[in-house]
Amino acid sequence: MENLKPFPLFRLPRIAIEEVISTMTPFEIKRESGLMSTVKTETLWVYSKNVVTGWMKLLRILKEVFMFCRHRIIFHLDSYPLQNKAIIDCIKSRTPSIDGCDIYGKTETDEDVKYFLNNLNVTEYVGIDVKLSDSFRFPQDNYLEYFVVYSASWVTFDQLLHLKASRLYIHGSLLTNQELNSYLLLWMTSQCHQNLKFLLIDITEPQSLDTILNLPHERINPDVERIVRLPNNDTISLKEGIDIKRNDGMTGTIHFDWRLDKMRLMMWVSRIE
């Protein structure tokens, strides 16, 4: 008997693919998935009368079939707003700890964001692109590698001090230049964010940068290129900027630049050798 040629499953129309997969066992799905690296990746749509029930079933099958080492969730709060808590409970029942998350939404929904962060332990990365009220407080207290927030009017000076992350990206900040100056002075005396590696934050008063820099600092010659060592022991090249020193010998190199109509402060933390 002649050898049969492989069946081109992923070249079939989408509906046909779904019909075939619906008849397969998890082990058959896993075997077929090994062939996907040689073909164009397809998007598989799953239809269900009950979105949460169907999604929970799919999540269970995927976790049984594929041995995922990392878990990152992209959560759109506006898609099924009445079922957000049920979806979060489903995720928690399968994966109580995740590596990272991006939370999106256009409506003000403090409660759902708090519920997500209070019920799922996020270990490395949190991104929040949601309109939140000025009274919102970030509920997680664990240490993160990255924290990214847009529409950050709720990030007060006190909240900034208590955010625990190596890399902070604070877009839409309403902090004053005087508050930024106070923050940098606290950093220089090791009273906050000793594990900070990078800071990006919007400036609300670009006409008065001297207020921010009312502290000991050194302007670096723009013609001098320096090789600096980061806290993780990697090295990078830096040119120009404004150096401020922390009392343990670490250096924060500050740059100001414009992005569209916003001026930003960026600071890299390194050890100058």
> Is 63 inside a domain boundary?
no
> Is 4 inside a domain boundary?
no
> Is 19 inside a domain boundary?
no
Instruction: Pick the more confident residue, 42 or 169.
Output: 169
pLDDT band at 1 (very low <50, low <70, confident <90, very high): very low
> Is 47 inside a domain boundary?
no
For the chain, the average pLDDT equals 81
Kind of pairing, strands 198-203 and 262-272? antiparallel
What's the domain range around 221? 72-272
> Is 42 inside a domain boundary?
no
- Is the predicted pLDDT of residue 240 greater than 80, yes or no? yes
Token representation of residue 82: 């009445």
- pLDDT score at 9: 52
- Find out whether 143 and 165 touch, Cβ atoms under 8 Å: yes
- For residue 262, give every residue at least 6 positions away whose Cβ sits within 8 Å of its Cβ, in sequence order, or none: 202, 203
> Is 53 inside a domain boundary?
no
Token representation of residue 252: 């924060």
Which CATH number belongs to the domain containing residue 250 in this structure? 3.80.10
The stretches of 83-176 forming alpha helices (DSSP H) are 84-94, 110-119, 157-162
Instruction: Pick the more confident residue, 127 or 18.
Output: 127
Number of compact structural domains in the chain = 1
Token representation of residue 111: 């409660």
> Is 257 inside a domain boundary?
yes
- For residue 100, give every residue at least 6 positions away whose Cβ sits within 8 Å of its Cβ, in sequence order, or none: 72, 73, 122, 123, 124, 125, 126, 127, 146
> Is 216 inside a domain boundary?
yes
- Is the predicted pLDDT of residue 47 greater than 60, yes or no? no
- Is the predicted pLDDT of residue 93 greater than 70, yes or no? yes
- Is the predicted pLDDT of residue 13 greater than 70, yes or no? no
pLDDT mean over 250-258: 91
pLDDT band at 225 (very low <50, low <70, confident <90, very high): confident
- Is the predicted pLDDT of residue 191 greater than 90, yes or no? yes
Q: What residues form DSSP beta bridges with 72?
A: 100
- pLDDT score at 221: 86
- pLDDT score at 37: 43
